[in-house]
Amino acid sequence: MKATISALALSVLAAFFSPANAASTTNYNYTAGGLLASVDGPRLDVTDVTTFEYDASGNISSVIDAIGQRTQYSNYNKFGLPELVTEPNGRTATLSYTEEGWLATVNWAGKIRRHEYNESGDLTKTTYPGGSWVQYLYDPARRLVGQDDSSGKRIRFALDSMGNRVQSTILNVAGTAAEASTTTKFDELGRAISETDRNGRVTKFEYDVVGNLVSITSPKGYKTQFTYDTLNRRITSTDALGGLTRYEYNAADQITKVVDAKGSQTTYVYDYNGNITKLVSADTGTTTRTFDEAANLIKSVDARGVTTEFVYDRLNRLFQKKYPASPSENMTFGYYTQSGSNIGRLALTSGNYGTTGYEHDRHSNLQVEWYKPANQTTTYSRQYAYNANNQLLSEQTSNLKTSYERNAAGDVIAIKVDIDGTSQYIAQEITYRGAGRVDSMQLGNGTSAQNYYDKDLRLERQRTGTATVANSVDANGNVVSITASSLGIGNTSYKYDALDRVIEERAGNILKSYAWDPVGNRTQRLTKNASTGALIDTQALGYSPNSNLLTSINGAPVASDPAGNLLQGKGQRYTYDSAGRLNAVYSAANVKIAEFKYNHLGQRIEKRVLANSSPEITYYEYGQQGQLTTLRKVDTTGKKIGQSSWVWFDGRPLAQVNFKYDASGTAKTHILYLQNDHLDTPRRAVGDNGSTMWRWTSDAFGVGDPDNAIGIDSAGNIVTDLPLRFPGQIADQHTALHYNHFRDYDPDTGRYIQSDPVGLAGGINTYGYAYGNPLKYVDPDGRYAFLVPLFAATIRITATDLLIGGSIGTGAYGANVIYSNAKRPPTGSIPINESPWSGDHGKIKDSLDLGGSDSVYIDPDGNVWPQHPDGSWSNEGPASSYTGSGKPSGRRGKDRDKSRGCD
């Protein structure tokens, strides 16, 4: 039996899609007994057939993918459920069930997870292989009213008669007092009309007669309003300053045009599969894309005329990325076919940057990654070790090992480094609050560190030794003052407009004021003497009237290429590679100063400084969450010059380990302990004797040179280079920019020099940084800004874990309310694999009990939107609430769990 199903009835939608795009066809073959025998995928260039085999009882026994990888199911019980699963890599899962047929245990290659239930079949407890557990509490109506875990996180819910959650409370570790709470009021239709935090800050929501959200009023009284067409599609959004954004749609409910408050337009053309085949942007010009029958992007042409071609294997895995006009920039990807636990995983990639390889253990954990630079003989590698719960225990390079000691619940309680055989603790006695937030620790130099939170778990004060930093926030969560005189960086106050953009800051006797256009382009910065009002400096930024392109700085013209990449600035000239990445910087005299290379993940991996009398090369290494872990400097012969490595904990850098090599190659090492601000930006570095050795004072946008070599440690070391800036940023002295993963940030103008690679999904202004509020938002990879998790006490719970994450702003909850079980995710939502939360895809799907083929989107506010079997969508709350740190792991192509549909 064979059935042919086209993707869409194109005869109906022909008016909206290019006639060049024919329907894709998937063929389904069945056995004589009506069982699915094979699925022949839509691609015509390869054989993409998946085959199914069955036992004598009709139970599926094997699934064989298009390249012959076999997954086996056996030992079926009386419920028709398999008790043994064998993956292509040989890893087995043994499953047991209760008498009722509920899953009781899962034994993955010796790691056992156990589930317990009440008489009604509600999951009451999950115990993980390492002994940690999560427990669920229900009321007599079987509604979830609480959750505890073995690390002391406790949460309780109060529900009304309709089941609406009217109060969510985070308890302390003892369970005796509230640490944070949120109270929500609902109308008679079950729609949230207000949300109040424990400090009395109220966010209000209004709806039209059919339930569309028509306004959100922030705690400070600023209102954002929305209108809809007769199909309940949002067609306008008006901000608190009257800025109007318009949206237009086609008959398939796809956005075809966005017009921002400045009048700049972005238009989209789609194929039958919903892929954007043509994008016309006022910022980046015209981009065309071609997709194959399986919706794989196979060709892209940007506004510069640069063509990129993509080649995929039979499993639709990227095999080649080619640039016909610049073949030296091509990349290739290889996958394991016979290597035990690695079967099916990415084995290596190669390009002009060199070669990178990966190895995984039998539990899918990344075990080894290595990098061999092009035209070099040295290979740099990093090894990882994990506990029974697959939590990181250590990472190790040739000269540095970082170990994480954990308690029975899996929480990190101490961090130790081993430098060439000598061990030293970086932090010990780490304690936590009830919400899982760090309370205190003892640093390796003998200094104690303590965090203090307000009634809604907002970080309000940090103390390290005798140095204290205190933050005050307004009702909207904007930082209005930072008191840090004990750090030697002074006290600063801030003011904001109705869109929460910084409009004024005062540090000592310096007053800076900022002006913005309707879409977030900064137009002016005035620097004055705060006492006399005397003007010290003026910066005026000019823009194209129909786009966000920067055209002048203080009247001096600057140019961009057709794709919107800035070509000049700071007296220098920039050039870009075929992927649109900054690949070289030239002096005003057209002398090449430095050049850069990037790997397959878009990470800068090599920098060559050419203008010095002694040219040098810097190699960059990153951790599994995309954080910078090591910078290695060598000369052109490969001889070591220096190395800086970082110890990270919970998304923040704790210490920097410096290696300085002499002529014989012997290293002198020393450790710096970092004190970070509320953004996790390093502001002070302290030596082993407690002396301040480095300090960075900046304005709100990162303008300010660090104070180097201001102190010495007990061995006489000084600090001349600590490049970490805002989260995800690395200061580059040769470009005077901050490298920010996918883009480069200019702190002087407060904007990126390239347009956002994800387009409007990253915000209405594709050059803006942190929505004009870098004191509140961070953008670790240069694509999506989000709220600092420590700002919030938004509470989230799921059926499989206790998840307490950071608030993503007053608009997020409104979206959560109005779009719950809506027809579709809101405008600007993107697939999770294209978002910073891609690396958390498997965890999020597991938490929501989703299958590998279920679609998951992330909306502009950072909420998770899964699609259900009936085609409906629901808002499942902030993505930040599904990870322990509240921060995204980033798009990690090499370690996403493909078994969970994370491709």
Span 264-290, pLDDT tens digits: 999 999 998 899 999 999 999 999 999
Q: What is the mean pLDDT of the chain?
A: 88
Q: d(Cα 566, Cα 547) in Å, to the nearest integer?
A: 14
Percent of the residues in the chain that have a pLDDT greater than 70, as a whole number: 85
Mean pLDDT over 763-787 rounds to 95
96: tokens are 């047991």
Amino acid 866: pLDDT: 78
| Residue 787: pLDDT band with limits 50, 70, 90 | confident
Mean pLDDT over 152-162 rounds to 96
Amino acid 371: pLDDT: 98
Mean pLDDT over 724-748 rounds to 98
**CA quadruple 219, 220, 224, 225: dihedral positive or negative?**
positive
> Between 341 and 701, whose confidence is greater?
701
pTM above 0.85, yes or no: yes
- Strand-pairing partners, residue 864, are 858
Region of residue 842 (phi > 0: left; psi between -120 and 50: alpha; otherwise: beta): alpha
Weakest mean pLDDT among 146-160, 464-478, 868-882: 868-882
> Between 802 and 458, whose confidence is greater?
458
Amino acid 824: pLDDT: 53
Amino acid at 108: W
| Residue 624: pLDDT band with limits 50, 70, 90 | very high
| Residue 864: pLDDT band with limits 50, 70, 90 | confident
Amino acid 868: pLDDT: 54
The per-residue b/e assignment along 676-697, b for 16 or more CB within 10 angstroms, e otherwise, is bbbbbbbbbbbbbebebbbbbb
The per-residue b/e assignment along 192-221, b for 16 or more CB within 10 angstroms, e otherwise, is beebbbbeebbbbbbbeeeebbbebbbbbe
Mean pLDDT over 144-152 rounds to 95
856: tokens are 């998951």
Quickly count: other Cβ atoms within 10 Å of residue 785's Cβ: 21
Mean pLDDT over 215-237 rounds to 98
In terms of DSSP bridges, do strands 297-301 and 285-291 run parallel, antiparallel, or are they unpaired?
antiparallel
CB 891, CB 837: distance < 8 Å? no
Mean pLDDT over 320-339 rounds to 95
**CA quadruple 432, 433, 436, 437: dihedral positive or negative?**
negative
> Between 834 and 685, whose confidence is greater?
685
H or E element at residue 875: none
In terms of DSSP bridges, do strands 318-322 and 307-312 run parallel, antiparallel, or are they unpaired?
antiparallel
How far apart are the two ends of the chain, measured CA to CA in Å?
31
Mean pLDDT over 497-525 rounds to 98
| Residue 808: pLDDT band with limits 50, 70, 90 | very low
H or E element at residue 606: strand 604-609
Instruction: Give 267-281 as a 3 state SS string.
Output: EEEECCCCCEEEEEE
Q: CB neighbours of 112 closer than 8 A, spacing ≥ 6?
A: 105, 106, 129
Burial class (CB in 10 A: 0-12, 13-18, 19+), 282: buried
Amino acid 804: pLDDT: 22
Amino acid 825: pLDDT: 63
In terms of DSSP bridges, do strands 751-752 and 743-746 run parallel, antiparallel, or are they unpaired?
antiparallel
Amino acid 881: pLDDT: 55
Instruction: Give 572-619 as a 3 state SS string.
Output: EEEEECCCCCEEEEECCCCCEEEEEEECCCCCEEEEEECCCCCCEEEE
Q: d(Cα 716, Cα 711) in Å, to the nearest integer?
A: 9
**Per-residue model confidence as pLDDT tens digits over 52-81:** 999 999 999 999 999 999 999 999 999 999
**Per-residue model confidence as pLDDT tens digits over 84-133:** 999 998 899 999 999 999 999 999 989 999 999 999 999 999 999 999 99
In terms of DSSP bridges, do strands 628-635 and 795-797 run parallel, antiparallel, or are they unpaired?
unpaired
